[in-house]
Structure formats: structure tokens, C-alpha cells
A = this chain, B = another copy of it.
Amino acid sequence: MSNLDQIAKLAGFSKATVSRVLNNSPHVSPETRDTILAIMKQLDYVPNGNAVSLSKGRTLQIGMCAEGINEAMLPFLNSFVETASQNGYQTIIYTSGGDAKQELKAFEELRRKRVDALVIITCVNDHALLGSYCKYGPIVSWQRMELPEIRSVAMNQYDGYKLGVEHVIEQGCTRIANVLGRPSSMNTLSRLAAYEEMMKKHHLPIRHEWSLTGIYSIRDGERVVRELLLGGGEHPDAVLCANDLVAAGLLNEARRQRIRVPEDLAIVGFDNTELAHTLGITSIDNPIAAQAQNAFYLLLGKLNQAESVQQKLQFSLVKRVTT
């Protein structure tokens, strides 16, 4: 493995000049540049990334923090990784499995200067604690946060959820249930607020036992059918789901139980993923890839002390056969 020193010696120039060639400095004569480039090629030279990072004080690496990666995050992840890459940044994944200690390691890596910035997909630590890491570098979040220091690129799901509630009401549903994710996350609270407002506006009854939380996956969705639709008493005639996975599980199990969709039960997903399209699930479109781009450019802006232009985004409802 050759290094700058060797190149400099062989070419008969100083390390400084070789470094200039490496960094495309205009202050190098064409002949000198050619000579040096030739030697580099000959020795199969590439600069050592760690040395560059140490010297420059920047790694061109961005950390991505999540409990674990699932389908719902894929559009965000792919879009972020690609956007970053186009701008010369690599993405390091830190998954915590929901362990707060483990999660904190990602933030420590920011402090240790292994990454220049951090993007949170989901996090479990106290937000204020995480916010204290902002002094080590820019942090942005997908998950909505309670602090001003860590901006979130996610949209206020209040607006999106309202579309869903409005839609099933228009379809004639009156007994509307919510199947939600993390119990007291901002998204859940926003959705509940939208739900309650719409229900009140239309003078429909709000039944708290029809708002379930902690539902995330296909299997969770299947379980919901048993909890919400198979017991005695009155059943909901519409369910708004935490995401399309849940909606898929719900739909599948409902059909298995001979519940007619949408006649007896309307189902609305969230995010409008490929899965919703495939299974014909009505879903609320959430422009996730664009949010990831916003996230990256927000970080890049802070890294370069420049203002970054953010795309304006909005929700929309895609009606399919489940409503």
C-alpha cells in the first residue's frame, strides 16, 4: 500500500503538491499534475480514507438510527441512502433492537466523530437526552420529536388521518375504530385528535375501546379482527389502520372470518405502499421518499452552514376496494 509520501518522492514533488492534485487545487501546473497522476496510477494509489477524515475533521458518513429495519421504513432508507450517496455521503446503520443503551451508541458515534450527522428513524431514549447530542453535530428525525433542536421531516399525520376519517364517513360508516402504533407517540396523538374532531363534527359516537394501540405488523392486524370484530355486542364498521401491513393482516383475517369488505367493514391503510396497491387496500398516501430527501438536505444544509430548500409535501387518499 503506497502513501502520499512515496508518491511525492517518486514524482519529485512535495507532499503538499501531491495533496493539491488529490484535491483538484487549481494551483498546480498541468505538467506537474500529469506527472503525479501518472505515478499514482502506476502505484495503484488511493488515499487512506481515515487519514483524510482525521485531517479534514469530516467523515462524509451519516448515521441512521432505528430500532430495526422493517418494510415500512424501506422507502425512507432507500431514498436517504441514495440521496446521501449522490452527495458524497455514506450511511451507517445503527439498530438498537429497542434497547436504549444500544441506541445511545449511535449518538456516541456522532460525538466520536465517526459520523458527521445523524438521522433518527425511530428512537426509544428520552428525547431531551438525545437532544443534548445536537452540540456534536446536526441531527434530524423522521419520527416526530418533541424538541425544537431535532427537527422532524415527517408530516403532521393529523392532516392525513382526517382524510381517512372523512372518507369512511362519506362512505356511510358511523362506527369507526382506530388501530394505532406506539401508544403515546406524536403520530398516535395526532391521529386521535383528528379522529375525535371529525367524529364530533359529524356527531358520531367516540368509543374509546375501539382505539387500539401497539399494533404494527401483519400478525398484529390479524389479531385485531379477533379483538374488535368477533366478540358479542356492537362491532365497528370501519377501521383506520396504523399502516398498510396492519391493514393487510386485518383484511386477510376478516375475509377468512367471512366478514365482507367493504360492505360490513371498511378498511383504510396508511402510507400507500406497494402492498396496499397489490391487495387493493384504500390507503393514505404518505410521500416518504421525499421526506427522506428533505432529511438529508436538512443535514447537509447544517453541515455546510447553508439554508436548505425543503420540498413541500402533502397527504392524499387513494381509494381502492376496501372502502
Contact = CB atoms under 8 A, between A and B. Distances in A.
Interface of A: 46-51, 53-54, 59, 61, 68-71, 74, 77-78, 81-82, 85, 90-95, 97, 102, 108-109, 111-114, 217-219, 222, 248-249, 252, 274-275, 277-279
A3 B97 CA distance: 32
B91 A93 contact: yes
Given A78-B68, A94-B90, A114 B278 contact: no
B46 A50 contact: no
A51 B217 CA distance: 42
A87 to B, nearest CB: 13
Contacts of A275: 218
A95 B85 contact: yes
Copy total for this chain = 2
Nearest to A114: B49
Contacts of A81: 69, 93, 95
User: Which secondary structure dominates chain A's binding surface?
Assistant: helix
A84 to B, nearest CB: 9
A92 B92 contact: yes
A117 to B, nearest CB: 14
Contacts of A54: 48, 50-51, 54
Given A54-B54, A74-B70, A252-B279, A97 B109 contact: no
Contacts of A91: 92-93
Nearest to A221: B278
A194 B184 CA distance: 52
A217 B68 contact: no
A270 to B, nearest CB: 18
Nearest to A63: B90
Given A69-B78, A252-B279, 20 more contacts: A46-B111, A49-B112, A49-B113, A49-B114, A50-B50, A50-B53, A54-B54, A69-B69, A69-B77, A69-B81, A70-B74, A71-B71, A81-B95, A85-B102, A90-B94, A90-B114, A92-B93, A218-B275, A249-B278, A252-B278
15 contacts: A48-B54, A49-B114, A50-B50, A50-B59, A54-B54, A69-B81, A70-B74, A71-B71, A78-B95, A81-B95, A82-B97, A90-B109, A92-B92, A92-B93, A249-B278
A278 B82 CA distance: 31
Contacts of A50: 50, 53-54, 59, 113-114
B109 A82 contact: no
A112 B68 contact: no
A95 B80 CA distance: 11
Contact of A278 (B90, B218, B274): B218
A56 to B, nearest CB: 9
A271 to B, nearest CB: 14
